[in-house]
A and B are shown apart, each in its own frame.
Chain A
Amino acid sequence: MTGPALEVRSLHKQFPGVKALDGVQLRVERSEVHALLGENGAGKSTLLKILSAAQAADQGECLLEGRLLDPADTPLARQKLGLVTIYQEFNLLPFMSVAENLYIGREPTRRGLIDWKRMRAQARAVLSDLGLDVDPEIEVRWLSVAQQQMVEIARAMTQSAKLIIMDEPTAALSSREVDVLHGVIRKLKGRGVSLVYVTHRLSEVKQICDSFTVLRDGRFVTRGEVSGATLSDLVRFMVGRDVEFVRRSRRAPIGGTVLSVNGICTDRDPLGRHATALHDVSLDVRAGEVLGFAGLVGAGRTELARILFGADRCERGVLYLNGRELRPLTHPAEAIKLGFALVPEDRKQQGCFLEQSVGRNLTLPSLRQIAFWRIFVNERRERELVEHYRQALGIKMAGPHVAIGTLSGGNQQKVLLARCMALDPKVLIVDEPTRGIDVGAKAEVHLLLCEMAERGVAVIVISSELPEVIALSDRIVVFREGRVNGVVPARDASEAALMDLMAVGRPTMPQPADISI
């Protein structure tokens, strides 16, 4: 029984506007822990979805233990074949017991009824096998995150998994729990199970993985043995590329500090597994500057942005606006009155009213300014406003009355930007401004943001695309696990250096000369 456990050949996947996978290959040997590395947007999630049959590739083939996988499989069929995926957001039923979760859909039965005794016994066996000391009768919601993860792994074991894919398994674990997890992984290896380990934590790759594959921009970069590579090598493989975005040249001078925060702390939300707690975050933003927020997903950037905007609360911290101390804001309405504007991270869920017209979407927060006696909407002025921004931003739409849901992602984003610009803000926060947008629209959005800065607006750009952050920003704040891990002037910043601060966690300032790209 030789041959790789998993092989992926020439996988292609095209989405409207972006090629997610371009001839990607992957090979996982038996009893091997294989790391899958790459920046956000490199194509990892798409690859995982195709492997678990949540999506189908356009071209290419996947082989599990030499057998070709049918692209028309359902996710359940894949699981039955022995390919199990454990996602970052667990697929556990919180109000059911551990045993029930382990055997959901496959309960042992006796004469048509569930055999609870056998299920409990089997559950107990599997759990102790993995060294997990948990009562199989407890409802899953009472378990810690680490324990829940173990239950997920146990479930994979009950399905006789041959290949387990783990997506960011340690994102929510303490270092002790990580050790326990790694112990379990080694045990599984010993049993002949192969694992694909997707992570940003490069130090863990060194600890537990045997080999690695790096993806970049949807393409396969390289495959190698972990023993033969240094962390710097891995970083270089992940980010090395020609800088696509030209560094903007600043014309207007940067003004004084507009916004300053000190010691922002939040507690971890007990219900939300992945809401990041902030620890003592302090920074300042100046008029006319573009401040970039860099960091991995879950580093706390969006959390801070929402606190600045009054959308969420913080436990401790002080806010200074133009030198004046403020109570932390409690509602976005306050923030808007004070001159803040926000383009949220998820434009579909948090930004757009999809069924309503472009015009209405654009003017909603500005209605007070264009209403008679502040009650009746002045539709003529509204039309003029919409037309003004349509031209200024080049929004492509059939007309102001079409539903915003019919516009392309790039144009939707422009409408949301126009909505903010119409408020004439002093501080503009944009969260992932070019996510899911094609290259052409990206450049246009960048131009608009730079123009805002030139006009004296303090612009905060949150982005997971390092080239974008470097090209747009004057200074870059790097977040890591809820803390500010460094503030870098953009001209001194390189992708490798930022990645260093974001993922590897050395708090020292990066030496650009060290790492050659």
Chain B
Amino acid sequence: MFLALLMVFFAYQNERFISLRNLTNILTEGSIYGIIAVGMTFVILTAGVDLAVGSLLAFAGMAGATAAQLIGADYAMSWMVALATAISVGGVAGYLQGKAVTLLGIPPFIVTLGGMTIWRGATLILHDGAPISGFDQGYRWWGTGTIVHVPVPIALFALVAAAGYIVQRYTRYGRHIYAVGGNPEAARLNGLNVAAIITSVYLIVGVLSGLAGFLQSARLGAAEATAGAGYELRVIASVVIGGASLSGGRGGIGGTIIGALLIGVMTNGLVIMHVSSYWQQVVIGLIIVAAVAFDTFAKARR
């Protein structure tokens, strides 16, 4: 609802907003962090948080590009190697973070805060801080090509979001995630392996961060050490605006998608209005607080 209003507002401000090209732009860019947001939804549902996703995007993307380079830039299937590497790196990193939370009992905020710096540092180490570029056509297709006129990132986002929704809504595992987030003590007494479930959501968001890293490098044509900077905030904001509670047990993929679109629309709209990027940050921050406050009041009144 809020989203529709916002879009109308921006369209009014500058008719370039409504052009198909611009909308596609919003969606394509939004898809990259939207994919991560699907994973982040599960993490936040368990009353956790992952601040490291932006850095992980960069690290996994750089790792994938490195692997592709090692194989040889003219090896036609370099994208396969890159994708596999990026996803694996993301998955392993996510698993390690998850284990730190469950085994060592460190709060997720702290673990992923550390992860944020660690993976960023690893990215810089990997290629001495320099970007990797020069990907072949097959690789770049993933970021710039289209399937049936739909840009690949958007198609992937749709796929990931659909899968995430099905898991959340229809599977036992989805129910278990809500249970762990809603009342971990009761979840345990009902026979759920709370530690395994918590570790798994960090694994998932890690894998999705890896995928996003690969897509980003394909789209930009280069894997940069600075990729994904600040993405964690956008992703978390998407999930929270979408109705998820940071204390777990409430929210869902549907809301997250709307949240991601909202953020995308906001950033894009403000740019088109020629609002300075400093003011953009202020406005976005205010809107995030407003959206969550509105949600909190609505729930409290019930």
Contact = CB atoms under 8 A, between A and B. Distances in A.
Interface of A: 309, 311, 331-333, 335-337, 342, 344, 349-356, 360, 364-365, 367-368, 371, 374-377, 379, 419
Contacts of A344: 186, 189
A486 B170 CA distance: 50
Closest 7 CB pairs of A and B: A333-B191, A336-B191, A353-B182, A365-B190, A367-B172, A332-B191, A353-B183
Q: Which applies to chain B's interface (DSSP): helix, strand, loop or mixed?
A: helix
A344 B188 CA distance: 12
Contact of A352 (B186, B192, B193): B186
Given A332-B191, A333-B191, A336-B191, A350 B173 contact: no
B189 A342 contact: yes
A353 B178 CA distance: 9
B127 interface: no
Interface of B: 170-173, 175, 178-179, 182-183, 185-193, 249-250
B175 A367 contact: yes
B189 A311 contact: yes
Given A355-B250, A371-B172, A376-B171, A350 B182 contact: no
Given A352-B186, A353-B249, A365 B172 contact: no
Given A332-B189, A333-B191, A365-B190, A353 B179 contact: yes
Given A333-B193, A364-B190, A365-B190, A355 B249 contact: yes
A331 B193 contact: yes
Contacts, number: 73
Contact of A375 (B173, B178, B187): B173
A311 B175 CA distance: 21
Given A331-B188, A377-B175, 4 more contacts: A333-B191, A351-B189, A356-B178, A371-B172
Contact of B186 (A351, A367, A374): A351
B301 to A, nearest CB: 15
B171 A352 contact: no
A360 B191 contact: no
22 contacts: A331-B191, A332-B189, A333-B191, A333-B192, A333-B193, A336-B190, A336-B191, A344-B186, A349-B185, A351-B186, A353-B178, A353-B179, A353-B249, A356-B178, A364-B179, A364-B190, A365-B190, A367-B175, A374-B172, A375-B173, A376-B170, A377-B175
Contact of A353 (B171, B186, B193): B186
A311 B189 CA distance: 7
A337 B193 CA distance: 13
Contacts of A379: 170
Most chain A Cβ neighbours within 10 Å, of B171, B187, B190: B190
Contacts of B175: 360, 364, 367, 377
A375 B189 contact: no
B241 to A, nearest CB: 19
A337 B171 CA distance: 20
Contacts of A376: 170-172
A374 B185 CA distance: 24
A255 B175 CA distance: 38
A215 to B, nearest CB: 33
Contacts of A309: 189
A320 to B, nearest CB: 22
Most chain A Cβ neighbours within 10 Å, of B188, B189, B192, B250: B189
Nearest to B181: A353
Contact of A355 (B182, B188, B189): B182
B247 to A, nearest CB: 10
Contacts of A375: 171-173
A365 B173 CA distance: 12
A335 B188 CA distance: 11
Contacts of B250: 355
Contacts of B173: 375
B172 A368 contact: yes
B186 A311 contact: no
Nearest to B249: A355
Contacts of B182: 353-356
A228 B220 CA distance: 92
A311 B193 CA distance: 12
